[in-house]
Amino acid sequence: MGEDKNLRDKVIIATKWSAITEIAAKLVSPLTNMILARIIAPEAFGVVATVTMITSFADMFTDAGFQKYLVQREFKSDEEKYKNANVAFLTNFVISVFLWGIIAFFSDQIASLVGNPGLGNVVAIACIQLPLTAFSSIQMALYRRDFDFKTLFLVRIVAILIPVLVTIPLAFLGFSYWALIIGTIFMQLSNAIILTVKSKWKPKWFYRVSILKEMLSFSIWSLIEAISIWLTTWVDTFIIASLLNEYFLGLYKTSTTMVNALMAMVTATVVPVLFSALSRLQNNTTQFNKTYFNTQRLVSILIFPLGVGVYLYSDLATNILLGSQWSEASNIIGVWALTSSIMIVLGHFCSEVYRAKGRPKLSFLAQILHLIVLIPACLISSKFGFWALVYTRSWIRMEFVLVHFIFMKFAIGIPIIKTFKNILPTAMSAIGMGLVGYQLQKFNDGIVWDMVSILICILFYFGLLNLFPNMGKEMNVLVGRLIPKKFK
């Protein structure tokens, strides 16, 4: 009982610090993105999207799934934990340098493959961040394992200030996509320095092949899963880059990234803490399921109305966040926000459940079953134009939710009906809010009325939600976790 309370206290404190971090990030990041979107053309964002596609692919191999292993594994002592961390670090670093060399050597061919011929030097220079990422990933895993999100708060705050201090000034000076790339490199450099300086564990010249083999027995499936996730995330980007042009790529990727960042204000607060908590409870089925359902319900309180609201007021959101030159992004932002809210609540946390149970193969299999449908759907819809691809890519994610439902029921033992009952109050309230908002939009036009009607929608949503049993208590718990009276 004492251990459960201790873990619960750690989770609450970690969630608060994670929440503070994400709130701070979401106060600064949108402002910097709003400024950059008004300085840099969509085409430049398209170039950066293709570079990010390459670096994210290489990053999977530098991490090799060791982060998740260090969080999920139960070690007998700190000495054993640090030995594993050292083997993981040295392996990561060597792989990252090797991959950077390969990418630099074939940079021109890679740039042409992803639809940006002539930008080989950009790809080669951008990938300097690979060794930097490998240098900090192990420390970050150890902090998450120990629920030390207070230190990660400092790291994130410094990182979100980099665009203000580096990226925006360079953009004003006309550096275009170079401003974004240089800013990212500085961000990874600051992460590596701060995490290494403050970490209890420091890299040493210790290496043992037997430890590597043990880690790989778990991590190989995490790596394979990561590759499948990368394909799921970037297949649409690759198709647009290959068949269309940088303008459409920049328009699409910036819009979806903006929505993902908005949703991450909630999910990024919860997911790292949830995985750490579930990993500690993997052998306690009752507490494991209770933690999962509580997290899902609390997240749905904010995510469902956020998705419906952005869908209804996508024009306003686009004008505020990106500016007039991005008016075409409105429809992308709207449909992506709506489908993302469903995907996050019903499917996003399932992969964390699989990994926390030590069964990453389930997550990989789920990704493969989704890719079997996703890739043909994207290829076929792209033949009918850009917008057909956008709407197909957005709604095809519901098939992914269905796959997770099946796996959660038959492999993990979490009933589908219980999942729906768990989020029924928030789903019904969000739908009611959406109907009210749709009617309110018919009364008048203009920013002032939009703001007034949004306020009415918010009040209606929480008023309706409060009518359901126990939801008032749930909202108090949410406020207590995300807006603490004092920081511990």
The pLDDT of residue 462 is above 50: yes
Residue 233 tokens, joined:
């995330």
If you average pLDDT over residues 215-234, what whole number do you get? 78
- Residue 2 reports pLDDT greater than 60: no
pLDDT at 485: 46
Q: Give the residue-averaged pLDDT of 355-375.
A: 86
- Of 355-364, 400-409, 467-476, which one has max mean pLDDT? 400-409
- Report pLDDT for 487: 40
pLDDT at 356 over 50: yes
The torsion region of residue 413 among left (phi > 0), alpha (psi -120 to 50) and beta comes to: left
| Arithmetic mean of pLDDT, 384-393 | 93
**Range of 34-43, 228-237, 269-278, 352-361 with top mean pLDDT:** 228-237
Look at residue 484 and tell me whether its pLDDT is greater than 50: no
| pLDDT tier at 488, thresholds 50, 70, 90 | very low
Q: What is the mean pLDDT of residues 250-275?
A: 79
At residue 394 the predicted structure's pLDDT band, cuts being 50, 70 and 90, is very high
Answering whether pTM is above 0.85, one says: no
Read off the pLDDT of each residue in 99-114 and give the average, rounded to a whole number: 86
State the average pLDDT over residues 268-293. 76
Q: Which pLDDT does position 8 carry in this prediction? A: 60
Share of the chain above pLDDT 70, in %: 84
For residues 395-399, give the mean pLDDT: 94
The band of 26, judged by pLDDT with boundaries at 50, 70 and 90, is low
Long-range contacts of 220-223, Cβ-Cβ distance < 8 Å, separation of 24 or more: 220/65, 221/65, 221/360, 221/361, 221/364, 222/64, 222/65, 222/68, 222/69, 222/355, 222/360, 223/60, 223/61, 223/64, 223/65
When comparing pLDDT for 65 and 93, which is higher?
93
Q: What pLDDT was estimated at residue 227?
A: 82
Please state the separation of Cα 209 from the chain's center in Å: 33
Closest CA to 222 of 172, 280, 182, 279: 279
Q: Shortest CA distance to 137 belongs to which of 75, 88, 79?
A: 88
pLDDT for residue 173 is more than 90: no
When the pLDDT of each residue in the chain is averaged and rounded to a whole number, the result is 81
- Check residue 198 and give its pLDDT: 76
- Per-residue confidence (pLDDT) for residue 22, from 0 to 100: 58
Q: Give pLDDT tens digits for 414-454.
A: 888 999 999 999 999 999 999 999 999 888 778 888 899 99
Name the more confident of 314 and 475.
314
More confident residue, 132 or 245: 132
- pLDDT at site 345: 93
Evaluate if residue 182 carries a pLDDT over 80: yes
